[in-house]
Every structure is written in C-alpha cells, then in structure tokens.
C-alpha cells in the first residue's frame, strides 16, 4: 500500500524563541517531498510534486499560518519540555 504522513518538529537549545526551529515535513512512501522550516520561512519542495505544492502554498495562506507556529506551537511546548527535563535530572 501507499503511506502518507506528516512530521512536525521543534528543535531547541533553550526556551528562547530565537533558539527554536519549527519544521513540518510531508512524506509519501518514506520520501520527503515538501518541508516548511521556520529558519527558511517558506515551504521547499524536493520532488516535482513537492515543488509545485511549495509554489502554491508559498503564495497562499498556508505559509502565513506556518510562520506563526514557531511561537504558538513550539514556544508553549518547549517551555513544558524544558521544565520537565530539568526537574527530572
């Protein structure tokens, strides 16, 4: 069968916003075809299908929504993760 999945990731060195990178990667049959990275600020396509979608998403509301995810999604969760890790170490 075919498999489609999305991986959302927050990488961080501290709980400060500028030390956090938000990425969202889209896969089809284990091949990443498009990714949004907060450090790049837009979608980047890696296959023919991904490139077409990146062009469309970068000119629509999708890119604007993703730019805000670093703060709304990562910042809140990173604070919880850092606190939890520090209290257990």
Q: Where are the domains of the chain?
A: 4-83
Asked if residue 3 has pLDDT above 60, the reply is: yes
In the block, tokens 């969760």 appear at 77
pLDDT of amino acid 12? 87
Asked if residue 87 has pLDDT above 90, the reply is: no
Angle formed at CA 17 by CA 41 and CA 7, multiple of 5 degrees? 55
In which band, very low, low, confident or very high, does the pLDDT at 77 lie, cut at 50, 70 and 90?
confident
Query: What Rg, from alpha-carbon coordinates, does the chain have?
Result: 15
Instruction: Give mean pLDDT, residues 62-74.
Output: 91
The chain-wide mean pLDDT, for the chain, equals 89
Asked if residue 52 has pLDDT above 90, the reply is: yes
pTM recorded for the entire structure: 0.82
User: 4-83 adopts what CATH topology?
Assistant: 3.10.320
Q: In sequence order, what are the residues at sequence separation of 6 or more whose Cβ sits closer than 8 angstroms to the Cβ of residue 15?
A: 75, 78, 79, 82
CA 25 – CA 9 distance, rounded (Å): 8
At 18 the three-state DSSP class reads: helix
């Amino acid at each position: 069968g075919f498999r489609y999945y999305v991986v959302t990731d927050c990488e961080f060195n501290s709980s400060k916003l500028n030390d956090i990178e938000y990425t969202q990667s889209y896969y089809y049959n284990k091949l990443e075809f498009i990714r949004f990275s907060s450090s790049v600020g837009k979608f980047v396509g890696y296959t023919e299908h991904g490139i077409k979608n990146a062009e469309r998403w970068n000119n629509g509301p999708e890119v604007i929504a993703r730019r805000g995810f670093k703060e709304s999604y990562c910042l809140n969760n990173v604070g919880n993760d850092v606190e939890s890790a520090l209290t257990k170490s």
